[in-house]
Amino acid sequence: MQLHNTSQYAIRVLNFFANHSDDRLYSAKELAELLSIPYKFLTKIMGILVKAEFIKSIQGREGGYELNKPASQIKLIDILNTFNDETDNESCILGVGICDGHNKCALHDQWMQPKGLLRKMFEETTLENLTSADCKL
Amino acid sequence: MQLHNTSQYAIRVLNFFANHSDDRLYSAKELAELLSIPYKFLTKIMGILVKAEFIKSIQGREGGYELNKPASQIKLIDILNTFNDETDNESCILGVGICDGHNKCALHDQWMQPKGLLRKMFEETTLENLTSADCKL
DNA sequence: TTTAAATTCTACCTTAGAGTAGTAATTGAA
DNA sequence: TTCAATTACTACTCTAAGGTAGAATTTAAA
């Protein structure tokens, strides 16, 4: 019951940019050091974030990365979906097809409430809503 | 954000026993068919459930499995822990060490409430509390 | 124009979860 | 005593996530 490592990294990187909207670029080297993410793995993730248009990249010497859109327009769920992190609300927590009120798994009733809050968190939280000050990178 | 396959299988098997407390044994072959779980994988899981003392096994011809303790004494969290499914409430959802009120990750505040409900569900739900009738196996 | 700092691309390695295969051991029934 | 139905054990394969390596490309500064 946890997020993929790549999703965690991606959220932390994007959150970093949301909190550093000074008008400059950050290189992969800098980010890797500041966020303690393996450099080579980070560059791989950055490539995905660029393709997904969360991040804009400037190539070449003095290049780097910056946010490609306002923090208020990036939802957590969009990030998770980019990395195939399971947020499919229809599928059953016990893996027994699709659950609804009439055709449900043994854990369905207990699962409804936490599932709803998780869904709310991922769908309604944007980078803008994340803790901005004094938080761990 | 989902349970391991083995945990799902284990919960479904244990729930099946909780709902079929008639005084008989069920063989791995029967269980595999009734619950649509690959036979060989099921026997592997049953071995773990036996070692963890959730299930009692009777070897040899006419043998099989039965619950080893009352359904009210088996919590979901005990099952998950048996299969290393992450339920460590201290560790951070973004993977940045230990989060608390003073030293927290960017998502800490939003995570508190769903985390609490998940914890409650896993720690307070026993096999006895699961839906017993008309639920998918 | 050269060079160094940066992104980008392709390919690979490692690990853990998921699942399979085959055989040994057990045991009640015939 | 034999045999068939069963659990138990060991070892393997497959797949996807996590992570690494190295070279190609881009670009601005020197």
Among protein residues, the one whose C-alpha sits closest to the C1' atom of D25 is A60
Q: Considering only the beta carbons, identify the residue of A12, A106, A131 that sits closest to B109.
A: A131
Does A35 touch chain B if contact means CB atoms closer than 8 Å? no
> What's the pLDDT at B86?
72
- CB–CB of A76/A61 below 8 Å? no
> What's the pLDDT at A22?
81
Does B104 touch chain A if contact means CB atoms closer than 8 Å? yes
Task: Please tell me the distance from the alpha carbon of residue B136 to that of residue A107, in angstroms, as a whole number.
Answer: 10
Task: Please tell me the distance from the alpha carbon of residue A71 to that of residue A9, in angstroms, as a whole number.
Answer: 17
Find which nucleotide's C1' atom is closest to A3's CA: D17
> What's the pLDDT at A23?
85
Q: Which nucleotides of C are covered by protein (CB under 7 A)?
A: 4-11, 17-22, 25-29
The sign one gets for the Cα dihedral B43, B85, B36, B63 is positive
CA of A28 to C1' of C15 (A): 25
Question: Is the model's pLDDT at B15 over the cut of 80?
Answer: yes
| Residue type, position B87, single letter | T
Find which nucleotide's C1' atom is closest to B3's CA: C17
Pairing of strands B55-58, B64-67: antiparallel
Task: Please tell me the distance from the alpha carbon of residue B25 to that of residue B58, in angstroms, as a whole number.
Answer: 8
Of the CA atoms within 13 Å of residue B72, those in its CB half-sphere come to: 0
Find which nucleotide's C1' atom is closest to A47's CA: C8
Tell me if A135 and B106 make a contact (CB, 8 A cut-off). Answer: yes
Token duo for residue B48? 């773990």
Q: How far is B135 from chain A (nearest CA, A)?
A: 5
Tell me if A106 and B12 make a contact (CB, 8 A cut-off). Answer: yes
Question: Is the model's pLDDT at A25 over the cut of 80?
Answer: yes
Q: Which pLDDT tens digit goes with each residue over A115-131?
A: 999 999 999 999 999 97
Tell me if A136 and B105 make a contact (CB, 8 A cut-off). Answer: yes
- CB–CB of B53/B68 below 8 Å? yes
- Could you identify the residue written with the tokens 């595999």? B32
SS3 content of chain A, % helix, strand, coil (to 5): 50, 10, 40
> What's the pLDDT at B21?
82
> What's the pLDDT at B89?
61
Average pLDDT, chain B: 93
> What's the pLDDT at A124?
97
Chain A residues in contact with B112 by the CB 8 A cut-off are none
Worst-scoring range by mean pLDDT, A5-9, A58-62, A81-85, B106-110? A81-85
H or E stretch covering A65: strand A64-67
Residues A51-66 as b/e (b if ≥16 CB within 10 A, e otherwise) read ebebbebeeeeeebbb
By percentage, how much of chain A surpasses pLDDT 70?
98
Rg of chain A on CA atoms, in Å: 17
> What's the pLDDT at B57?
98
Architecture of domain A5-131: Orthogonal Bundle (1.10)
Boundaries of every domain in chain B? 5-131
Residue of A80, A83, A121, A126 to mutate for B, most B C-beta atoms under 10 A: A121
Task: Please tell me the distance from the alpha carbon of residue A67 to that of residue A11, in angstroms, as a whole number.
Answer: 12
* pLDDT tier for residue A90 given thresholds of 50, 70 and 90: low
CA of B46 to C1' of D9 (A): 13
* pLDDT tier for residue B32 given thresholds of 50, 70 and 90: very high
Strand partners, B98: B91
Task: Please tell me the distance from the alpha carbon of residue A38 to that of residue A17, in angstroms, as a whole number.
Answer: 18
- Could you identify the residue written with the tokens 């599928």? A91
